């Protein structure tokens, strides 16, 4: 979009100068409108090089006819600048042979008034001018394509680097998960089974014991049962694949910063770090931050993002992900945002998604567990 306004500004100045040099007539205005229409319509055919070149050639002919010199007037030098812009656009978007043919056509239409006896710049000057412009564009063409190739190679290398890094991270995660699963299996097979056997033996002994001993054995049984429940809970946690917590979010931020060159400003306000959130709530916060950052990278095209954690009055925990927008546009909640909202609401929280002051904001509020239960 910025290039469009740049082209429009340059062409507007060039045509204004060219028309002012002559007497303005309806023919000039119609020709100018036709040129602008062709010039910008050509952008729709960048991938169809023949049509693109023909449209630019038509724009060159219309320029010549519109600014055709009148007898006994001064030659119009601004026409040459418009020809140069047309040739420059061709160099940017079509192969060199197409651009070369268009350059020959432009030289021909520039020489036409001279050959037909109308006021114009000398043929020698025009040939030298187009020769110099042609050499300049050839040099630019080689530099531009070389830069494009280098950029493409860098992008390919960067993409490969990110792919390898993701594979390494996935492998590490898999190894950690296998270790956790093995530890959980060992605890379940050893401690869990032994506690279960102990419970059965205590129960058998309790049934055979007198009243006082049975009462003592019942206390031992309750203690063993609590130990078994805690062991099962630990095994369940170890098997759980989900991650959460401030440290996990910090790792996520570091990973996204290194892989995607994001600039993330992370603010942890007093009380937020020690907020008593359940494991499920922390996982929800982690997933929400992950989805908000992914959504930002996918749709905003920006690299700046701000993440804030706070716990106002110790009653609720609040996270907020903010990224600046170039322009505010209507949006609809896709699968990712809807899933994020459902996750937050499943842990009794609320999610707000809105735009304002050229910023896109995702804000979640969760009840702090201790206060809620107290």
Distance between CA atoms of 124 and 131, rounded to whole angstroms?
Answer: 10
Three-state secondary structure call for residue 278 = coil
Rounded to the nearest 10 degrees, how much is the dihedral formed by the CA atoms of 323, 327, 328, 330? Answer: -110
Distance between CA atoms of 327 and 317, rounded to whole angstroms?
Answer: 30
> Taking CA 180 as the corner, what is the angle to CA 178 and CA 181, rounded to the nearest 5 degrees?
65
Q: What is the pLDDT of residues 5-35, one digit of tens each?
A: 888 888 888 888 888 887 778 888 898 999 9
Do the beta carbons of residue 60 and residue 106 sit within 8 Å? yes
| Mean pLDDT confidence for 240-258 | 69
- The confidence score (pLDDT) of residue 243 equals 54
Q: Is 90 exceeded by the pLDDT of residue 288?
A: no
What percent of the chain has pLDDT above 90? 14
Going by the DSSP 8-state scheme, the letter that residue 264 receives in this structure is E
Of the ranges 35-39, 212-216, 233-237, the best mean pLDDT one: 35-39
- The confidence score (pLDDT) of residue 318 equals 92
Distance between CA atoms of 123 and 105, rounded to whole angstroms?
Answer: 15
Rounded to the nearest 10 degrees, how much is the dihedral formed by the CA atoms of 252, 253, 258, 264? Answer: 160
């Amino acid at each position: 979009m910025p290039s469009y306004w740049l082209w429009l500004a340059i062409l507007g100045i060039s045509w204004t100068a060219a028309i002012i040099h002559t007497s303005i007539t309806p023919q000039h205005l119609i020709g100018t409108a036709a040129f602008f229409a062709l010039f910008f319509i050509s952008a729709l055919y960048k991938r169809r090089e023949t049509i693109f070149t023909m449209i630019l050639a038509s724009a060159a002919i219309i320029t010549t006819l519109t600014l055709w010199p009148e007898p006994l007037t001064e030659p119009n030098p601004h026409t040459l600048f418009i020809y140069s812009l047309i040739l420059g656009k061709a160099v940017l978007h079509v192969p060199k042979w197409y651009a070369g043919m268009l350059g020959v056509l432009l030289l021909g239409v520039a020489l036409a008034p001279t050959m037909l006896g109308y006021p114009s710049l000398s043929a020698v000057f025009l040939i030298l001018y187009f020769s110099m412009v042609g050499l300049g564009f050839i040099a630019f063409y080689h530099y531009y394509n070389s830069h494009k190739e280098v950029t493409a190679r860098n992008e390919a290398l960067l993409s490969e680097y990110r792919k390898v890094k993701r594979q390494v991270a996935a492998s590490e995660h898999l190894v950690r998960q296998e270790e956790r699963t093995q530890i959980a299996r060992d605890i379940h097979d050893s401690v869990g089974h032994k506690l279960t056997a102990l419970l059965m033996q205590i129960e058998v002994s309790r049934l055979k014991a007198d009243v006082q001993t049975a009462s003592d054995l019942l206390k031992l049984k309750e203690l063993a049962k609590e130990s078994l429940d805690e062991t099962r809970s630990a095994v369940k946690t170890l098997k759980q694949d989900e991650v959460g917590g401030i440290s996990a979010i910090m790792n996520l931020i570091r990973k996204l910063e290194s892989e995607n060159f994001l600039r993330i400003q992370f603010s942890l306000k007093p009380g937020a770090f020690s907020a008593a959130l359940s494991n499920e709530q922390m996982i929800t916060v982690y997933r929400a931050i992950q989805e908000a950052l992914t959504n930002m990278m996918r749709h905003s095209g920006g690299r700046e993002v701000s993440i804030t954690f706070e716990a106002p009055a110790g009653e609720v925990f609040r996270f907020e992900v903010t990224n600046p927008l170039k322009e505010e546009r209507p949006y609809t909640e896709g699968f990712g945002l809807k899933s994020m909202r459902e996750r937050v609401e499943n842990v009794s929280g609320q999610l707000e998604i809105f735009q304002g002051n050229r910023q896109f904001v995702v804000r979640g509020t969760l009840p702090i567990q201790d206060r809620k239960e107290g």
